[in-house]
């Protein structure tokens, strides 16, 4: 009798949101999960069920054969950490029209050509539309399998039956669970469909690539709605008016985070490029200095520009592609400790090509650009700047100087102003050691003699 009583599950009443299904202890007007108004309603929790014990499996048995498969697109492989891992779930997020579907087709076609079968589930385009896009890109559509991607159950059943190496879902906002009452694209639907696809990937070892549109705030169907559920989060962004696109990795359970790859969109699709020629003008002009930010394991040479103007009222400070707070901080330190008076001037800063720079090691390049714009003296020929500027005016060293020096040489820079470290230099690039901000911009203020800087010598191998 006790066994019978113990097996009976009790039902209980809960308060939950009809949009995102978040539970709350009592009724509230606004859901704390998704922010929707008037969606908290009384519901009955599903009774618990007894679960059977599952035999454990050795981690060594699970790891056998879990090797990343290269996609054939070098930039994508580098960002993913070597390729696509079986059973992994990758989210490719970006604004509508940025080129996510095009990049997805490039990856799928390369994998299919190499012998890894792929299945495309598209809820945004029909089979004829996807085939037409593949034709424009010069892709053989016969090597790619297709299924409509609007019904979650149909997508899961088709993938489980065919067992492709990669299932590409375009996009997660168009997939819906017909048993749910919410509209497709909502937080609840997106979470439910993603959870089902993650279960499919882990159960059958199918790699899944999801595309998703971001909101105006840069979130995917709500704040952090999917990032925790997937293994890898890729961001594909750029200026829709230009052909420049950047693929970056914000989360990667199987490789390094922060890697990036640059592509150019053309009529024949995406082509990986070296952005150095687009980000550095190579001309010696006042108000332009070269920084060497790191993106993952690589470093890039990026031209940072500044404009200094007079102001009759409160001076404006605006920055594009540069952290606005660090821009103002560097300007204040430059005015206080660098010998360049810009306290009452209007300051404008930008990165070349609209690249977003968040590396503190570019502080010194920002200071050099502002000092050059304020004094009208261009930076030394072939110079680049690396270092984090502190509030006291001291310049802190930056990690990864070997990669930064290599990027400087690739961009044609012959000397790098940076704090001395234990790293070795490289041939063809002179390392100019600086300790204080005033030393780094002495060429602009005349506070230091840098007559030999315009004629760099060979690399100083260790400082």
Percent of all residues in the chain with a pLDDT value above 90, rounded to a whole number: 51
What value does the mean pLDDT of the chain take?
Answer: 84
Give me the domains of the chain, ranges plus CATH numbers: 12-45 (no CATH), 71-272 (3.40.50.300), 278-445 (3.30.230.10)
For residues 192-218, give the mean pLDDT: 87
Task: Please state, in angstroms and rounded to a whole number, the distance separating the CA atoms of residues 262 and 253.
Answer: 22
Residue 122 reports pLDDT greater than 90: yes
pLDDT tens column, 271-285: 998 887 778 887 889
Q: Which residue has the tokens 């997106």?
A: 190
196 burial via Cβ count (<10 Å: 0-12, 13-18, 19+): middle
pLDDT tens column, 386-404: 999 999 999 999 998 988 9
The CA-based dihedral angle spanning residues 305, 311, 316, 319, taken in that order and rounded to the nearest 10 degrees: -10
C-alpha to C-alpha distances, 385 to 228, 323, 347, 398, 417, nearest whole angstrom: 37, 17, 20, 11, 5
Q: What is the 3-state secondary structure (H, E, C) of the chain?
A: CHHHHHHCCCCEEEEEECCCCCEECCCCCECCCCCCECCEEEEEECCCCCCCCCCCCCHHHHHCCCCCECCCCHHHHHHHCCCECCCCEEEEEECCCCCHHHHHHHHHHHHHHCCCCEEEEECCCCHHHHHHHHHHCCCCHHHCEEEECCEHHHHHHHHHHHCCCEEEEECHHHCECCCCCCCCCCHHHHHHHHHHHHHHHHHHCCEEEEEEECCCCCCCCCCCCCCCCCCEEEEEEECCCCCEEEEEEEEECCCCCCCEEEEEEECCEEEECCCHHHHCCCCCCCCEEEECCEECCEECCEEEEEEEECCCCCCCEEEECECHHHHHHHHHHHHHHCCCCCCCCEEEEEEHHHCCECCHHHHHHHHHHHHHHHHCCCCCCCEEECCEECCCCEEECCCCHHHHHHHHHHCCCCEEEECCCCCECCCCCEEEECCEHHHHCHHHHCCCCCCCCCCCCCCCCEC
Least confident of 213-217, 312-316, 436-440: 213-217
Give the model's pLDDT for residue 10.
55
Token pair in block for residue 224: 């952090």
Respond yes or no on whether the N-terminal peptide bond of residue 143 is cis (omega within 30° of 0): no
Token pair in block for residue 168: 């590409």
Least confident of 12-16, 137-141, 239-243, 451-455: 451-455
pLDDT tens column, 62-86: 455 578 999 999 999 989 989 999 9
pLDDT tens column, 209-263: 999 887 655 555 544 678 888 999 998 987 666 778 889 888 898 887 778 888 9
């Amino acid at each position: 009798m006790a066994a019978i009583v113990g097996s009976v599950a009790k039902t209980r009443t809960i308060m939950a949101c009809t949009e995102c299904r978040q539970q709350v202890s009592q009724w509230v007007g606004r859901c704390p999960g998704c922010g929707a108004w008037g969606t908290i309603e009384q519901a009955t929790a599903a009774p618990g069920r007894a679960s059977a014990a599952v035999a454990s499996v050795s981690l060594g048995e699970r790891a056998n054969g879990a090797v990343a498969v290269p996609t054939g697109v070098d930039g994508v492989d580098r960002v993913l950490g070597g390729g696509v891992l079986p059973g992994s779930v990758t989210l490719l997020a970006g604004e509508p029209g940025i080129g996510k579907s095009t990049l997805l087709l490039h990856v799928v076609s390369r994998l299919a050509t190499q012998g890894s079968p792929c299945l495309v589930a598209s809820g945004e385009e029909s089979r004829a539309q996807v085939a037409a896009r593949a034709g424009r890109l010069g892709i053989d559509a016969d090597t790619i399998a297709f299924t409509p991607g609007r019904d979650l159950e149909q997508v899961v059943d088709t993938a489980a039956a065919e067992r492709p190496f990669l299932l590409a879902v375009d996009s997660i906002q168009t997939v819906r669970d017909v048993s749910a009452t919410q509209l497709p694209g909502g937080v609840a639907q997106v979470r439910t469909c993603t959870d089902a696809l993650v279960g499919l990937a882990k159960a059958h070892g199918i790699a899944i690539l999801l595309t998703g549109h971001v909101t105006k705030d840069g979130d995917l169907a709500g704040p952090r709605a999917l990032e925790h559920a997937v293994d890898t989060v890729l961001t594909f962004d750029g200026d829709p008016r230009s052909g420049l696109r950047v693929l970056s990795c914000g989360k990667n359970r199987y490789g390094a985070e922060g890697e990036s790859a640059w592509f150019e969109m053309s009529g024949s699709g995406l082509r990986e490029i070296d952005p150095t020629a687009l980000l550095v003008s190579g001309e010696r002009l006042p108000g332009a200095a070269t920084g060497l930010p790191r993106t993952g394991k690589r470093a890039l040479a990026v031209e940072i520009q500044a404009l200094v103007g007079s102001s009759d009222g409160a001076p404006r400070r605006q920055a594009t592609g540069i952290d606005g707070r660090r821009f103002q901080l560097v300007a204040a330190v430059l005015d206080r400790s660098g010998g360049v008076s810009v306290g009452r001037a209007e300051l404008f800063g930008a990165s070349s090509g609209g690249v977003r720079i968040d590396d503190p090691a570019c502080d010194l390049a920002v200071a050099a650009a502002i000092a050059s714009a304020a004094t009208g003296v261009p930076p030394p020929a072939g110079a680049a700047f690396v270092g984090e500027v502190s509030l006291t005016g001291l310049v802190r060293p930056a990690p990864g100087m070997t990669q930064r020096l290599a990027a400087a040489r690739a961009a044609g820079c012959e000397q790098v102003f940076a704090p001395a470290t234990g790293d070795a230099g490289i041939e063809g690039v002179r390392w100019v050691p600086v300790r204080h901000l005033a030393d780094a911009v002495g060429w602009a203020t005349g506070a230091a003699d840098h007559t030999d800087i315009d004629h760099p010598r060979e690399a100083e191998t260790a400082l």
